[in-house]
Structure 1
Amino acid sequence: MKERYGMRKEQKQIVMICIFLIIGGILGYFVAANQIKQLSDPAYIAFWTEHNMPVPAPLGYAKGIISFALLFSGMPAGWIFYNELSQKWLTSMAPKILIGIIMFPIYTCIGAVGAIPFVLYKGICLFRKTNRSSAPKT
C-alpha cells in the first residue's frame, strides 16, 4: 500500500513540473514575440534613443522559451526540494514558513537548475518500481 502511494506522489511531482515547464515555454514564446514586435514600434525606439540609451535586443524565440520554461519549472521543483529538506531538518511550523517565504527565490533558482535532472531521476525510479512490481515472482 505504501509503495503505491509513493508512485502516485512521484507521478504528481513529475506531472506538476512538466505542466509548469509547458506553461513557462508558452509564456516565453509570447514574451519573445512581444519583444520582436516592439522593435517595429517607432515610439518604443524613440523612447530609448531620446534617453541616449541603446535599444534592447529581443530575447529571441529559442532563448525565451527555454529560459521561461526553466524558470517556471523551477518553482515546483524548488518547492519539492524545500519540502523534503524541511521535513527532515526543521521541526516547528514557524521557521518552516519563514524560511520558505524568504528563501523562495533561491529555491526557485535551485529548482530551475535541477528540474530536468529531477524529472529524469524520478522517472527512472518510477520505471524501476513498476518493473519490480510487474516482474513475475519465482
Structure 2
Amino acid sequence: MVACDFQPFNLVEDKVFRAFVKSLDPKYELPSKTTLRNKLLPQIYEECKTKLLIMLEKASYVSVTCDLWSSREGNSFLTATCNFADGDFKITNVVLSTNTMTSSHTAENIAAKVSKISKDWTLEKKVCCIVTDNAASR
C-alpha cells in the first residue's frame, strides 16, 4: 500500500488501520514504519528496478522526456521519463528518475543530469531523442 498507493509510512501506526488488519488476520504482525522505510521499500525498489532494467535491455531505442519543475518550497527538480516500444510494439512509459537540481538550469547542467540518468539505466547508446518543454526558468 505504501509503495503502490503512495500511503505514508506511519499508516501502520494508525489505530483504525491496525484494527482492520487484525480483523483480517489476528496473527499478522504489521511491520513498523522504520522497517517499511529502511528495509521493505528499498527491497521493492530494487525488485522494480531489476524488472525495468530487463525491459530496457530489450528495447532497441528509447526516447527521453525531461521536465524541470519547482516545489511549493522553491526546490528545483528534474524528472526524466523514458518511452519505448516492446517486442510487441506496445508503447511503455516509465519514470526513470526525479533528482534535485541544485545547479543553475543551463543547457550544460541539464545535459549533465540527463547524461548521468542515461548512464545509470544503461541507455547511452539507445537514446534516439530527448524532449523538453523548453519553458523558461524563473
TM-score scaled to structure 2, two decimals? 0.30
* Higher strand residue share: 2
* Higher helix residue share: 1
Higher Cα Rg: structure 1 or 2?
1
Tell me: higher relative CO, structure 1 or 2? Use CA pairs within 8 A at least 6 residues apart. 1
